[in-house]
Amino acid sequence: MSYYAIDEEAILYLEVPYVAKDFAKKLGAKWDPVKKQWFISCSMDIAAFKQWLVFTKSEHGNMRADYFYLAQVNRNCYKCAQNTLVNAIILPQGFEVVDDSIMEELEKQNIPVEGKLFCRQNYSSIVSYVTYISLEALKEIYKYIDCCFFREEYSMSVDYSYYRSICQHCHSAQGDNYIISEYNSVFHPSNIEDFHKIQFYKIQQKIKIRAGAYSIDYEPLDYMIMQNV
């Protein structure tokens, strides 16, 4: 049995019965020896594997991971200018995200879509505009920050509520556009000195979230992991 470097691309796991394994392999499926499950690249013809697709029903989130990181750093509040703690959720390499484009393509081919399809990604990601966090993961987050200072708050800029860091002095909600999305923001430092100000907490709890945006790779986390190897 061949081992495949699954970190090279985004992949989609399949439920292939044992009697069909040779046929699946002939079509191009690969075997993950760790999860003991067949998978394909998300760039392949998904329709050819329609009978083995794993749809997730009753799922609130559009992203999930077996564990995650909570990142914290201080910055000046945009309103009162006092130093306050801000937070971010980072998903590790191997997290999964719902691929809407695949489901749209299946629907175009009149293939029934009975839920969500999650694709495994080969990079880490800092997420933003998070509107849903699974309860058990949220409980773990609140071990590091009081729930009063990380909660859902309405944003006029996006016209919906999402989880935002709250200033510990004036109680103003800090926008993800300022603390996460912008270049050279506190979670995207341009120099090594600012990077070392970020505190990363690895939380060994499965997480499901709904995020409005996420990065393709997150170098500060990758650098931190390399430094601690």
So where are the chain's domains? Answer: 65-93+125-227
Does the CA dihedral 183-188-189-194 come out positive or negative? positive
pTM for this structure? 0.87
Those residues with Cβ within 8 angstroms of residue 228's Cβ, 6 or more apart along the chain or in another chain: none
In 3D space, the residue among 164, 146, 166 whose CA is nearest the CA of residue 155 turns out to be: 164
Interatomic CA distance for residues 134 and 138, integer angstroms: 6
Residue 39 has φ and ψ, to the nearest 5°, of: -150, 165
Give me the phi and psi of 53, to 5 degrees please.
-70, 145
CA distance 227 to 121: 23
Pairing of strands 96-98, 83-91: unpaired
How confident is the prediction along the chain (229 residues), in pLDDT tens digits per residue? 222 344 457 899 999 999 999 999 999 999 999 889 999 998 899 999 999 998 887 668 999 999 999 999 999 999 999 999 999 999 999 999 998 888 888 888 888 888 889 999 999 999 999 999 999 999 999 999 999 999 999 999 999 999 999 999 999 999 999 999 887 899 998 888 888 899 999 999 999 999 999 998 888 787 777 666 4
Give the C-alpha distances (Å, rounded to integers) separating 92 from 65, 106, 142, 226: 7, 28, 20, 13
